[in-house]
Amino acid sequence: MDLESRLRLAGDVPAVEEFLSSTAGRLHHRDQDPDGLFWAEVQPNNGERAAFTARIEWTVYPDRPPSLVFVESIGASGVGAPSAWPGANGYRYGSNDVCKPFTAEGQRLHPEWSSGPHSWRSTGNPFLYVVENVQDDIDRVDGRRAG
Amino acid sequence: MPQPHEIKTTVTSALAEHPYQHDYAPQVTAASVLSDALAAFGFASDGTTRYYLFHDGHEVPPEATVGELAGHARALHLKLRTETTNG
C-alpha cells in the first residue's frame, strides 16, 4: 500500500472506530496485518444476536473499494461458513462475495458499475461509508445469519 | 442566527467533505430536510440508492418534523445513510 493510502487510512480510521464503538462493535488491526487489512466486529442492533466478523482489505485508499468477506474469527485465513455471513440481500456466502457497489468484489462482477450511480465514490470517509452500509444491511435483517 | 423557534439542523454524510447546516422551522418535515441535504451534497436520487436520515439509532420517517425530532433542543444532528442496490 502506498504512502498516501496509509496516511488517508490513518486519518479516517478513528471515525470508523468511533462508529463501531457506538454500536457495540469494534475495529481491529493487528501488528502482523498488512497496512490495508482490518477486521470489523459488527454487532447487530438486536443485542441477542452474535456479532459478525467482516474482513475488510483496502489496496488503494480511498480510490478503490475494499474487498469485503465474512469470516469465523479475527485472523481467520479462509472465508467463513454460511453461519458467518449475514442473511442480507447481496451477501452471498455461496460465492464468497458481497455483491454491492461498495465492494471490490461487486465492482468486479459488474463492470457496468464503474460509471454512473453505482460508481465508487472516494470522497469524505469511504471506510466509514462501507462500515455504515454493512451495519445497516445487517440490522435490516435483524442480525440474522445466512446459515 | 436562527430565528426564534427555528432549530439549527446539521446533516452529516460519510461521503461528504462537510456537513450540511440550515435553520429550520419546527414544522418542516424530514423529507424536506433530506431533499435539501441531498442537493447540498450533490447526491442525486437515482433510483438505485435509497437515501434516508438516521437519528438516535433509527431511520427517520419522512413525515417526522424537525420539531418532533429535536424535542426541547435548539439543535438537531441527523445522519444521511444509504441503502444500495445489490447485483
Specify the number of domains making up chain B: 1
Residues of B in contact with A110 (CB under 8 A): 87
In SS3 terms, chain A reads as: CCHHHHHHHHHHHHHHHHHHHHCCCEEECCCCCCCCEEEEEECCCCCCCCCEEEEEECCCCCCCCCEEEEECCCCCCCCCCHHHCECCCCEEHHHCEECCCCCHHHHHHCHHHHCHHHCCCCCCCHHHHHHHHHHHHHHHCCCCECC
**Cell numbers that stand for A138 in this block:** 445487517
A101/B contact by beta carbon, under 8 A: yes
User: Residue B82: which of A146, A115, A135, A143 has the closest Cα?
Assistant: A135
Chain A residues touching B46 at Cβ < 8 A: 116-117
A14: chain B residues, CB-CB within 8 Å: none
Q: Which amino acid is at A5?
A: S
Report the complex ipTM.
0.89
pLDDT digits (tens), chain A, 147 positions: 999 999 999 999 999 999 999 999 999 999 999 999 999 999 999 999 999 999 999 999 999 999 999 999 999 989 989 999 999 999 999 999 999 999 999 999 999 999 888 899 999 999 999 999 999 999 999 999 998
B1 is a domain residue:
no
Check which CATH number belongs to the domain holding B54 and give it. 3.10.20.90
pTM value > 0.90: yes
CATH code of A3-140, in short, is: 3.10.110
Mutation target for B interface from A95, A98, A125, A134: give the one with most B CBs within 10 A. A125
H, E, C per residue of chain B: CCCCCCEEEEEEECCCCCCEEEEECCCCEHHHHHHHHHHHHCCCCCCCEEEEEEECCEECCCCCEHHHHHCCCCEEEEEEEEEECCC
Is A13 at the interface with chain B, CB within 8 A?
Answer: no
CB-closest option in B15, B85, B87 to A129: B15
Q: What is the pLDDT of residue B1?
A: 58
C-alpha to C-alpha distance for A55 and A38, rounded to whole angstroms: 6
Note the pLDDT of residue A63: 97
Chain B residue with CA closest to A98: the answer is B86
Instruction: Tell if the CB–CB gap between B83 and A125 is shorter than 8 Å.
Output: no
How many Å lie between the alpha carbon of A43 and the closest alpha carbon of chain B? 13
Go through chain B and tell me how many residues it has: 87
Q: Which pLDDT tens digit goes with each residue over B48-59?
A: 789 999 999 899
Judge whether B69 lies within some domain: yes
Q: Where are the domains of chain A?
A: 3-140
Closest A-chain CA to B44: A117
